[in-house]
Amino acid sequence: MIPDLGKYTVTILGSWGATLALLAALIVLTLIRGAQVKRALEAQEKRMKKNG
Amino acid sequence: MSIWEYANPVKFMQTSGWLLPWVFGATVLTLVPGLVWGFFFTPLAEEFGATVKVIYVHVPAATLAINIWVMMLVTSLIWLIRRHHVSALAAKAAAPIGMVMTLIALITGALWGQPMWGTWWEWDPRLTSFLILFLFYLGYMALWEAIENPDTAADLTGVLCLVGSVFAVLSRYAAIFWNQGLHQGSTLSLDSEEHISDVYWQPLVLSIVGFGLLFVTLLLLRTRTEIRSRRLKALEQRERMA
Amino acid sequence: MIALLTRDLRLAIRAGGGFGLGLAFFLIVVTLVPFGVGPQGDILARIASGILWLGALLACLLSLDRIFALDYEDGSLDLLATAPIPLEAVVTVKALAHWITTGLPLVLAAPLFAVLLHLPGPAYLWLEVSLLLGTPALSVLGTFGAALTVGLKRGGLLLSLLVLPLYVPTLIFGAELVRRGAEGMAIEVPLTMLAGITAATIALVPFASAAAIRVNLR
């Protein structure tokens, strides 16, 4: 499946791997923080509505 | 400052919420084919062998690393002049993305430099400038974290971004003067005589567009999060006051 | 403004360490380097210009957080902000006071320390010139960092992170000037660039520092 990269396999797979890993980490962290904040905000709004 | 100034953010939330799926779709439609094309279906370059495939992640990340800083400069200016809260929050949301892009450019560059130049790291002007850019991103983010009052933080980071931009450019030219480089010339040019041959150029452009759209998607997501977090803080404060 | 300058200078001297501490730090850096790289004279001679510049830069950094912190705490910064002289001028005077208490002693002491590092003969002149031209920019940029972090409880480390990248151009041209002077090469380009950066910094950065202080006093 992976094309023949010759002696540069480590270089190429390494840099692609590092890139994809960093991007994945960024995306996951963005989504997690987004979900957390959204949940907290909804809880807060609900509480304030209840208490007037 | 009251949370009722948030008329504008409400509009932003609506628009961005509507826009987000489309931008996300476009990201997937460009990034995936661009990267797959670059990885599987490009020939080996005479000079660089298979390592040419690294440019499909290295060049887009590096391009974005610089352009994100420019975008932060513009949004900081808009905040300092027009005082749109969303603008300041967008700059804040963009910084970590820019930092990661700079890091990717540095890491892939080091991995590529090892077999090609025979060294992981060379104090070449471009590499040095990117390292300095990375430091600027770190400082900018640290200043945001350190200041509690959000408006003060936005103002101060905005000023830092302006001054930092001037000195980032200065450092770039100082570094060129300081050490002549190993780094390749520009791979990107609209002039087809100048840029690399089309077999590499076309998937590269697709990858760059994909990375750019990925940045827009993440930026929208993060800015929405920042707006929500600001509203949450304002609500908590109002509750405490009541 | 002159009153402000003399007041700042007197405070720095009374508090002690204004003159001495930076110099002592500079001396320690210069002493420690040979322990790190070995005592061979030829190696030291080659890196002397860089070490001296780095030492000066770090010594300068050491006292930055005090530029505004004390005035901010006892409220005199508010008075200065409402005083009839513009805040930009206050910032410039503060930078000048900082330079006189840390930059100038460093410039004067650098040749002595250069002896310890076997700096080649022709470089002494250029070491003096480069430090004299470069250190004012370090002080002015320092006021910008200090102005950004003045409201923070523990801004010291953050201050270094913010200010050090701004020092890069000055450091490059300053150290390059000494290096070229030592090797007898043409020095016009780094000399003019260093002078230009310092002049532009002194002219423009006080506006940014004053803006940051206004935000922090709001």
Q: Which among C162, C169, C172 has the least Cβ separation from residue B160?
A: C162
Residue range of the domain that includes C197: 2-217
Higher pLDDT, B149 or B188: B149
Q: Does A39 touch chain B (CB under 8 A)?
A: no
For the segment B42-93, what is each residue's pLDDT rounded down to a tens digit? 776 655 666 777 888 888 998 899 999 999 999 999 888 888 888 889 999 9
CB contact under 8 A, B174 and C165: no
Average pLDDT of the residues in C136-148? 91
Neighbours of C205 (CB within 10 A): 25
Higher pLDDT, C21 or B33: B33
Position C202 scores a pLDDT of 92
Residue B167 pLDDT > 50, yes or no? Answer: yes
Using CA atoms, how far residue C196 sits from B164, B197, C93, C170, C189, in Å, is: 18, 42, 20, 10, 10
Confidence class of residue B1 from pLDDT cuts 50, 70 and 90?
very low
Largest CA distance in chain C: 57
| Chain B, nearest residue to A13 by Cα | B54
CA dihedral A27→A33→A35→A38, nearest 10 degrees, is -140
Q: Find chain A residues with C-beta within 8 A of B232's C-beta.
A: 37, 40-41, 44
Q: Count how many residues are written for chain B.
A: 242
Domain boundaries, chain A: 23-47
Mean pLDDT of chain B: 82
Average pLDDT of the residues in C191-208? 91
Average pLDDT of the residues in B172-176? 80
Residue type, B27: T
Buried b (16+ CB within 10 A) or exposed e, C21-48: bbbebbbebbeebbeeeeeeeeebbbbb
Position C14 scores a pLDDT of 66
Q: Is the dihedral of CA C68, C70, C73, C79 positive or negative?
A: negative
Position A5 scores a pLDDT of 61
Higher pLDDT, B125 or B48: B125
Residue B6 pLDDT > 60, yes or no? Answer: no
For the segment C88-130, what is each residue's pLDDT rounded down to a tens digit? 888 898 888 888 888 888 888 888 888 888 888 778 888 888 9
Confidence class of residue A4 from pLDDT cuts 50, 70 and 90?
low
Residue C87 pLDDT > 80, yes or no? Answer: yes
Using CA atoms, how far residue C197 sits from B162, C140, C187, C205, C207, in Å, is: 16, 11, 16, 11, 16
Residue B110 pLDDT > 80, yes or no? Answer: yes
For the segment C24-58, what is each residue's pLDDT rounded down to a tens digit? 888 888 888 888 888 887 888 888 888 888 888 88
Confidence class of residue B217 from pLDDT cuts 50, 70 and 90?
very high
Residue B193 pLDDT > 60, yes or no? Answer: no
Q: Find chain B residues with C-beta within 8 A of C192's C-beta.
A: none
For residue B178, the distance in angstroms to the closest alpha carbon of chain C comes to 7
Position A1 scores a pLDDT of 52
Mutate to test the interface with C, among B127, B145, B163, B165 (most CBs of C within 10 A): B163
Q: Find chain A residues with C-beta within 8 A of B231's C-beta.
A: 41
Position B46 scores a pLDDT of 58
Confidence class of residue C16 from pLDDT cuts 50, 70 and 90?
low
Phi, psi (rounded to 5 degrees) for B45: -85, 145
Using CA atoms, how far residue B232 sits from A39, A41, A43, B18, C36, in Å, is: 10, 5, 10, 22, 52
Higher pLDDT, B102 or B86: B102
- Residues of B engaging C, defined by a Cβ cutoff of 8 Å: 132, 135-136, 138-139, 142-143, 146-147, 152, 155-156, 159-160, 162-164, 167-168, 170-171, 174-175, 177-178
CB contact under 8 A, B51 and A11: yes
Tell me how many residue pairs between chain B and chain C have CB atoms under 8 A apart. 76
CA dist., res. C57 & res. C62, Å (int): 9
Residue listed under structure tokens 């830092």: B160
Does C touch B (3+ CB pairs < 8 Å)? Answer: yes
Average pLDDT of the residues in C199-207? 92
Split into its structural domains, chain C has a count of 1
Three-class SS state of B155: helix
Q: Does C56 touch chain B (CB under 8 A)?
A: no
